[in-house]
Structure 1
């Protein structure tokens, strides 16, 4: 059984749709976290911060996925969750800067959304 390579246009469409979905979900998370962050710093919860970061995260994740999938596809099972946890470290450090738990949890959820979007867009389709 052979598998055909996915056409670049199909991958680009999936990544674009994943980015749009991530933007929409992250907007909802940011709005909710902002409501729960009353009087907090609100770090990363404004659209000017999270919208470009979401797109950049999807694009960087896509490039990373592509590079790893070509060389060591089984490594994705370890690399993806490891990178997600690493992205949470700066979020948690914001607690020392005075950010509220709502702010930090919101950012952590936003990273999870971006990761999920990339995995959904890049995971090979199963017959």
Structure 2
């Protein structure tokens, strides 16, 4: 019977990883655009809240997806139990990312802040499955 050699993590071509991360940025930006438009429709002062401007949230969406990819890659490489660690780390990072948005409550009102919070969740919900696909974790 042939010997099967298993590597701890499957490697993907760098272009596949970059393409997946770019796709996550585009998809998350599209979802965030829908959330921003919805919040502007519901807000009392829709044009006064800068974080819902496309330039703001699209830039921060890209930064969030890129930082998430770096964090995923570090955990993937350094942790003996990446599944367990990421099961705790991903929700924790999302919740911590909410903190600055609460300081904007006076400026953006409930609709604006709710949209920002949902944007964080949307980015994670889109990016994590992409990371799983293009940077798979070791079995376990």
- Specify the TM-score bucket, using the shorter chain as the normaliser: 0.7 to 0.9
Aligned pairs for 1:19-98 within 5 A? 19-39=25-45, 41-72=48-79, 73=82, 74-95=84-105, 97-98=106-107
Per-residue CA distance 1:57-81 (angstroms, 9 max, x = gap): 1111111111112112131111110
CA–CA separation in structure 1 for the residues paired with 2:69 and 2:127: 6
Aligned pairs for 1:100-115 within 5 A? 100-115=109-124
Bigger CA radius of gyration: 2
CA-CA distance at 1:13 after TM superposition: 1.3
Supply the RMSD in Å over aligned alpha carbons: 1.7
Can you give the 5+ residue segments of structure 2 that lack an aligned partner in the other structure? none
| TM-score, normalization by structure 2 | 0.80
- Tell me what 2:125 maps to: 116
Per-residue CA distance 1:31-87 (angstroms, 9 max, x = gap): 111111132542410112111111111111111111112112131111110000001
Query: Does the 8 A contact of 1:15 with 1:58 survive in 2?
Result: yes
Aligned to 1:6, the other structure's residue is in SS state coil
How many pairs were matched up? Answer: 124
Which of residues 13, 16, 25 in structure 2 aligns to 1:10? 16
CA–CA separation in structure 1 for the residues paired with 2:59 and 2:96: 20
CA–CA separation in structure 1 for the residues paired with 2:87 and 2:14: 23
CA–CA separation in structure 2 for the residues paired with 1:117 and 1:19: 9
CA-CA distance at 1:12 after TM superposition: 1.3
| TM-score, normalization by structure 1 | 0.88
Aligned to 1:99, the other structure's residue is in SS state helix
Query: Does the 8 A contact of 1:15 with 1:121 survive in 2?
Result: yes
